[in-house]
Amino acid sequence: MDIINDVFPFASTNINQEGEDSVPTPMDSVEFEQYEQLLKNANQELYPRCESFSILTAIVELMHGKIKYRLSNLCFDYFLGVFKRMLPKDNCLPKDQRHAQKVLNGLGLGYEKIHAYKNNCMLFYKENETLDTCPICKELRFKMTSHNRMTKIPQKVMCYLPLKPRLQRLYMSTHTAIDMRWHKEKRVDDDVMSHPVDGEAWKKFDRTFPKFAANPRNVRLGLATDGFNLYRVLNQHHNTWPIFVFPYNLPPWKCMKKEYMMMTVLITEDPGKSIDVYLRPLVDELKDLWTNGMHTYDKSTRKMFTLRAAVMWTMNDFPTYAMVFGWSTKGYMACPICMEDVTSCWHAGKVCYPGHRRWLPWDHEWREKDKEFDGNTGHRLRPREWSGDEILEQLNRLDFASFEKIVTRTRPSTHLNWTHKPMFFELPYWSKLKLRHNLDVMHVEKNVFDILMGTILDIEGKTKDTIKARLDLERMGIRRGLWMNKDGDKARRDLEFFFP
């Protein structure tokens, strides 16, 4: 009953809106039917004269165990069948997981299946929801083998889990509702970076949007995505791409726990730059949350308020950075910070990016050294910092091919390394953010560690002290002691560190 009262708080009590007296919040017909059905299941005994379990209690307990101990659907169906046979014949326990899930749908635990075009042109969504053929590539919505079936099989399916009900759910529990104001009311400002609220990006956002920052219940979100092989078989061409959001209002010991990680989109293949196609429902919901907000019940104050939300930044590895930012992280202009002002060259069979001394202070002693680096002194200034408005203005001047069109590998010189205009720029506040994208620490640490230890221990396949690297040193005329030793017609590499 506590769960039902949290999901439908205004079904059992009158809730006052802020600034108004004794104004009850009505329920629409769909919500009322869900509430009535859940109430019936909560009061109906699992079997006659059963005093300890109702239908809803039994299902909630069993589903909680399924998730906690990671039971598969087949295993769960088997045990449900066993329990149903063990109970009296007139019991009301569902016979499988699918029927149990239908009982819980009223709690807001469902998701939407949105069909996608075969070539990632767009989604069968909103104005295209009733189409059976792609208007661009003319591909069919359903597989050819499904024409004679009662249930047609779509070419692609994306799972979308609406964000609004889960943000509302954070305020349905008294403890969570109080913690959602931690960043404003309980944080200790001791000049120590212990939470994103201590960072300059958060503070600049508050200065830019003071009306949003005035209400500590407005939600700040982080967004992360990456692909992985669901079946752990490396030779299979299958990737699953979940997209998660994290509420940063919570204290640091809670905001990164899995209980508060909200998966919003599940893509069943590598979307590439077409990730914006699959982000469309989420971006539409985020725009509405920023512009209009949604009426939400705060259990701690027992009042209604208008909840708004904003995505502060994304977190990705470097290849995914290219997908969400729209700047290719390959080639001679791979750096999304330096852009066309990058320093790059071909070295040891790869494109390398020297010139990092430009980030040092102007009078740093390393700027004058040449042989210790690439044979040149470093007197270049650090690259300019592009604001979000300048990047948006630059993107608006470019004409990108649509996702459904086949484009050549060669981009026009005017496009630099831009591949597409990110959909996140449709958010009214995105161009005003100081920090829009982050690189996750795990991949950076692993790559640096692998390169460092592989070179020091001279691990085959991991070391960067290769024959090509030594020949490049000779070609550049630096570090003579590391050049290749020529023994007749053969070149021999001495086993010594690559470092000076």
In the chain (500 residues long), the average pLDDT of successive 10-residue segments reads: 71 48 51 77 88 89 91 93 92 90 78 87 86 83 71 87 90 87 88 90 95 95 89 68 94 89 91 89 96 90 92 93 91 89 84 88 90 84 90 89 52 82 94 93 87 91 87 84 74 54
What whole-number distance in Å separates Cα of residue 165 and Cα of residue 357? 49
Q: How much is the pLDDT for 404?
A: 44
Looking at the fold, whether 136 and 241 belong to one and the same domain comes out as yes
Nearest to 437 by CA among 160, 246, 201, 192: 201
Does 493 map to a domain?
yes
Looking at the fold, whether 148 and 91 belong to one and the same domain comes out as no
Question: What are residue 302's phi and psi, to 5 degrees?
Answer: 55, 45
Nearest to 109 by CA among 217, 1, 34: 34
Looking at the fold, whether 57 and 145 belong to one and the same domain comes out as no
- Burial 306-342, CB ≥16 within 10 A → b, else e: ebbbbbbbbbbbeebbbbbbbbbbeeebbbbebbeeb
Q: How much is the pLDDT for 69?
A: 92
Does 182 map to a domain?
yes
**Number of domains composing the chain:** 3
Q: How much is the pLDDT for 149?
A: 65
**146 CB contacts (<8 Å, ≥6 apart)?**
152, 153
Number of helices and strands in the chain (H, E):
17, 14
The answer to whether the beta carbons of residues 7 and 172 sit under 8 Å apart is yes
Q: How much is the pLDDT for 409?
A: 53
H runs (alpha helix) in 249-387: 252-255, 275-278, 280-291, 318-325
Looking at the fold, whether 177 and 212 belong to one and the same domain comes out as yes
Looking at the fold, whether 30 and 89 belong to one and the same domain comes out as yes
Identify residue 100 by its one-letter amino acid code.
A
Does 343 map to a domain?
no
Does 336 map to a domain?
no
Q: How much is the pLDDT for 407?
A: 46
Looking at the fold, whether 155 and 264 belong to one and the same domain comes out as yes
The answer to whether the beta carbons of residues 388 and 377 sit under 8 Å apart is no
Q: Looking at 45, 75, 108, which one is the last position of a domain?
A: 108
Looking at the fold, whether 225 and 310 belong to one and the same domain comes out as yes
Q: Looking at 287, 315, 343, which one is the last position of a domain?
A: 315
The answer to whether the beta carbons of residues 389 and 431 sit under 8 Å apart is yes
- DSSP states along 439-500: E-HHHHHHHHHHHHHHHHTT-TTT-S--HHHHHHHHHHT--GGGSPEEETTEEE--S--S--
Does 115 map to a domain?
no
Looking at the fold, whether 72 and 198 belong to one and the same domain comes out as no
How many residues are present in the chain? 500
This prediction has a pTM of: 0.83
Does 87 map to a domain?
yes
Q: How much is the pLDDT for 395?
A: 92
| Cα angle: 29, vertex 30, 36; to 5 degrees | 85
Does 118 map to a domain?
no
The DSSP code for 259 is G
Q: Looking at 300, 315, 330, which one is the last position of a domain?
A: 315
Q: What is the CA radius of gyration of the chain?
A: 29
Looking at the fold, whether 60 and 162 belong to one and the same domain comes out as no
- Domain range for 153 is 126-315
Q: Measured in whole angstroms, how far is the alpha carbon of residue 48 from the centre of its chain?
A: 47
Does 355 map to a domain?
no
Looking at the fold, whether 68 and 199 belong to one and the same domain comes out as no
> 248: exposed, middle or buried (C-beta count within 10 Å: 0-12, 13-18, 19+)?
buried
Looking at the fold, whether 257 and 133 belong to one and the same domain comes out as yes
Query: Tokens standing for 316?
Result: 């990705």
Q: H-helix or E-strand containing 347?
A: strand 345-347
Looking at the fold, whether 29 and 154 belong to one and the same domain comes out as no
What whole-number distance in Å separates Cα of residue 317 and Cα of residue 226? 8
